[in-house]
Structure 1
């Protein structure tokens, strides 16, 4: 059974990768050629010439000149304001994605066109939902760019494609992994996402983390895991065994998911773009990639026919896409302001928050181990905040002493 599924899974993965390769391979060759001939120095004033220049080169020269010649501005941020923004991002992410999750489950399990005498039909193509979510988010992002003034955009557009591809692949690996892993394995993977994000940050951005950051990340993973294992529906997926295919797909999901937030954080750091610019750029490539995959697999015709047959599905899909777009605004804003690790911690806590909310609403009992897990999480968060504040205070004191020494 496992070997048969491994073959089927591998074929599906190859089909998806070959579909994406029809975009990435010609794009890579074109980018390499235009950079080799220094097309940015010879491009004409026409629309397509400037579009090619923007896609391949962006405005890197202007960005580098401004970075090298301009004096570095020191911004003083009120710590209380920073906490308020973090709390705003936390509840914004929770609200957007809790609503999005409920709506997605509703759409995938709802029988459209059902009558008292005959059953309806369910919508099965989750990739088409992803496409609708992305295209609406793209149009919202573009609309905001035209209405509200943004900082100068200097990043080459093709760099957005990396996080678009990794986001699509992480979603694909996640959905496939859920079919062939046990409930404890799912919990372990969801609770320990902070660690892969930190490790990926060392690879993508060459970041260094203090010992207390690793320790508190492990504590958060342990606490969330304890809570999810004992306070959720522990009978779920008990008939499933974790297979080699499931482990491979979980590793793929965690790797691509960790890369996505870290790459977006690196773009924010390098090019100082706004969260709206990031949203428009990432979703532009996400629309392109998902549409190519749907066209090649024949999903567009089937899904559009379903939309015409069931207008209620259109309403549900639009509401779902609005929740997704709202959630993306909070995602990019959180990564821009606080970085990928803080964002991942918030999304990890979302799993426990959803179950805690379910326990409160439906009266499910909380176990002692679950309560202990919540206490471990709060202790880890307190230690992390305390250690970060102490590190900032020591850094400020050191800078002040250096300024005083230089003035003597």
Structure 2
């Protein structure tokens, strides 16, 4: 299949899956699930969210690799790949709960802003840990997209603040620190996945997805059962407030699992920088949907931010279309 067609299919899959996933993410972390008009009930269990997401990703990913028959290389070389998978899974295991926890302290738009700036830490980690060198145009594209995302979100005047974020500036600083830590871990995770797919012939995108989610699932499950009371928390939450949060959790996990298939195919066939470019623009659309559905407002500065982001993506596409056809070790 033509590479442009492959990329187009992956982009459509990522957009459709994760736009609804992002809507459910904000709903899960900011909606009042209480059956009472007096006492609000906000769901605060990031570990449970991530455990369910990992479980669904294992199931959907296994169906995918079994269907296309891409699991045999991993089974034959599992001991060789396991150590690398487990190291990456530790970073992934820590990162996701940190980012979900930050939503208790910062609003969703700031969350999306910070998570949308992955291009720079991914390229930075690639350069520092793996010695990858990029063309200057890559840095220019990363800078334009990041500035555009920053302008879009900073310029947002939210008419509906996070209802459970009333703990003052100290809590906001703490939430931002959690986000930065999560972003740096994401940079390592994406870069390490990229290198593993390029250098380990025994693994492909689907197997990487399943392997990482198996490791992450058991890491989180052991930690949650040993050191937290979150399973009792969700049981009590559902008994007091009904099953609406469970339905949202299941839909959220299913969308995330399907989206992950397209993410890992993109990572395998292209690179982490291409993937981050796609996911950043998806986050821009998620922010626009958040503004519309959750009572935020758009202004001229935000439109300028949107134009900058898509200008960056357009520049990246133009550079790929018109670049000389020659082998180059610089990405």
Query: TM-score band (shorter)?
Result: 0.7 to 0.9
What residue in structure 2 maps to residue 149 of structure 1? 69
> Please, what TM-score do these two structures have when normalized by structure 1?
0.66
Give yes or no for the alignment of 1:130 onto 2:58. Answer: no
Query: Aligned-pair distance for 1:264?
Result: 1.1
- Residues 263-303 of structure 1 show CA distances to partners (whole Å, capped at 9, x for unaligned) of 11111111242222112101111111111111112333443
Give yes or no for the alignment of 1:299 onto 2:299. Answer: no
CA distance in 1, matches of 2:290, 2:110: 21
CA distance in 2, matches of 1:164, 1:329: 17
What residue in structure 2 maps to residue 386 of structure 1? 318
What residue in structure 1 maps to residue 204 of structure 2? 274
Report SS of the residue matched to 1:393. Answer: coil
Query: Aligned-pair distance for 1:208?
Result: 0.7
Report SS of the residue matched to 2:134. Answer: coil
Give yes or no for the alignment of 1:111 onto 2:33. Answer: yes
CA distance in 2, matches of 1:94, 1:232: 25
Stretch of structure 1 that moved more, 225-234 or 301-310? 301-310
Return closer, same or farther for 1:351/1:234 CA change in 2, 3 Å cut-off. Answer: farther
Report SS of the residue matched to 1:124. Answer: coil
CA distance in 2, matches of 1:245, 1:316: 27
What residue in structure 1 maps to residue 83 of structure 2? 158
Give yes or no for the alignment of 1:212 onto 2:142. Answer: no
Query: Aligned-pair distance for 1:177?
Result: 3.9
Report SS of the residue matched to 1:207. Answer: coil
Query: Aligned-pair distance for 1:261?
Result: 1.1
Give yes or no for the alignment of 1:175 onto 2:100. Answer: yes
Query: Aligned-pair distance for 1:214?
Result: 0.6
Q: Structure 2 residue aligned with 1:252, among 181, 184, 202?
A: 181
Query: Aligned-pair distance for 1:223?
Result: 1.4
Greater relative CO, 1 or 2 (CA 8 Å, sep 6+): 2
Return closer, same or farther for 1:303/1:339 CA change in 2, 3 Å cut-off. Answer: same
Give yes or no for the alignment of 1:355 onto 2:287. Answer: yes
Return closer, same or farther for 1:280/1:149 CA change in 2, 3 Å cut-off. Answer: same
Verify the 8 A CA contact 1:204 1:266 in the aligned structure 2. no
Give yes or no for the alignment of 1:264 onto 2:193. Answer: yes
What residue in structure 2 maps to residue 84 of structure 1? 5
Return closer, same or farther for 1:363/1:82 CA change in 2, 3 Å cut-off. Answer: farther
Return closer, same or farther for 1:174/1:210 CA change in 2, 3 Å cut-off. Answer: same
Return closer, same or farther for 1:186/1:313 CA change in 2, 3 Å cut-off. Answer: closer
Cα RMSD of the aligned pairs, angstroms, is: 3.4
| Unmatched runs of 5 consecutive residues or more in structure 2 | none
Query: Aligned-pair distance for 1:179?
Result: 4.8
> Please, what TM-score do these two structures have when normalized by structure 2?
0.80
CA distance in 1, matches of 2:288, 2:109: 18
